[in-house]
Amino acid sequence: SASPSANPPSAPATSAATDTSSRPPTLAPGPAGLTPVFRNAPRAAGKTVALTFDADMTADQGARAAAGEHFDNPGLIAALRELKVPSTVFMTGRWAEEYPDQARSLGRDPRFEIANHSYSHYAFTGDCYGLPTVPEERMRADVERAYTAFRKAGVPNAMPYFRFPGGCYDSRALRAVSGTGVTAVQWDVVSGDAFATDADAVARQVLDGVRPGSVVVMHCTRSAAPTTEQAVRAVVPELRRRGYRFVKVSELIATASGRR
Residue 48 clears pLDDT 70, i.e. is over it: yes
**Residue 36, in any domain of the structure:** no
Domains contained in the chain, number: 1
Structural domain for 57, as ranges: 44-256
CATH code of 64's domain: 3.20.20.370
**Residue 24, in any domain of the structure:** no
**Residue 27, in any domain of the structure:** no
Which percentage of the chain shows pLDDT scores above 70? 92
Tens digit of each residue's pLDDT (9 = 90 or more) over 36-45: 999 999 999 8
Who has greater pLDDT, 249 or 23? Answer: 249
pLDDT at 258: 82
**Residue 123, in any domain of the structure:** yes
**Residue 252, in any domain of the structure:** yes
**Residue 131, in any domain of the structure:** yes
Tens digit of each residue's pLDDT (9 = 90 or more) over 64-93: 999 999 999 999 999 999 999 999 999 999
Q: What is the 3-state secondary structure (H, E, C) of the chain?
A: CCCCCCCCCCCCCCCCCCCHHHCCCCCCCCHHHCCCEECCCCHHHCCEEEEEEEECCCCCCHHHHHCCCCCCCHHHHHHHHHCCCCEEEEECHHHHHHCHHHHHHHHCCCCEEEEECCCCCCECCCCCCCCCECCHHHHHHHHHHHHHHHHHHCCCCCCCEECCHHHCCCHHHHHHCHHHCCEEECCCEECCCCCCCCHHHHHHHHHHHCCCCEEEEEECCCCCCCCHHHHHHHHHHHHHHCCCEECCHHHHHHHHCCCC
For residues 195 and 3, is the Cβ–Cβ distance under 8 A? no
The mean-pLDDT minimum among 6-15, 113-122, 241-250 falls in 6-15
**Residue 72, in any domain of the structure:** yes
- pLDDT grade, residue 1 (50/70/90)? low
pLDDT at 70: 97
Who has greater pLDDT, 20 or 158? Answer: 158
pLDDT at 2: 43
Distance CA 128, CA 143 (A): 18
Summary mean pLDDT of the chain:
92
Which residues, 6+ apart, have CB-to-CB distance to 259 below 8 Å? 25, 253
pLDDT at 260: 58
pLDDT at 21: 53
- pLDDT grade, residue 53 (50/70/90)? very high
**Residue 35, in any domain of the structure:** no
Q: Which of 214, 216, 212 is nearest to 202 (CA)?
A: 216
Which percentage of the chain shows pLDDT scores above 90? 87
- pLDDT grade, residue 20 (50/70/90)? very low
The mean pLDDT of 128-156, rounded to a whole number, is: 97
The mean-pLDDT minimum among 19-23, 36-40, 59-63 falls in 19-23
Tens digit of each residue's pLDDT (9 = 90 or more) over 234-248: 999 999 999 999 999
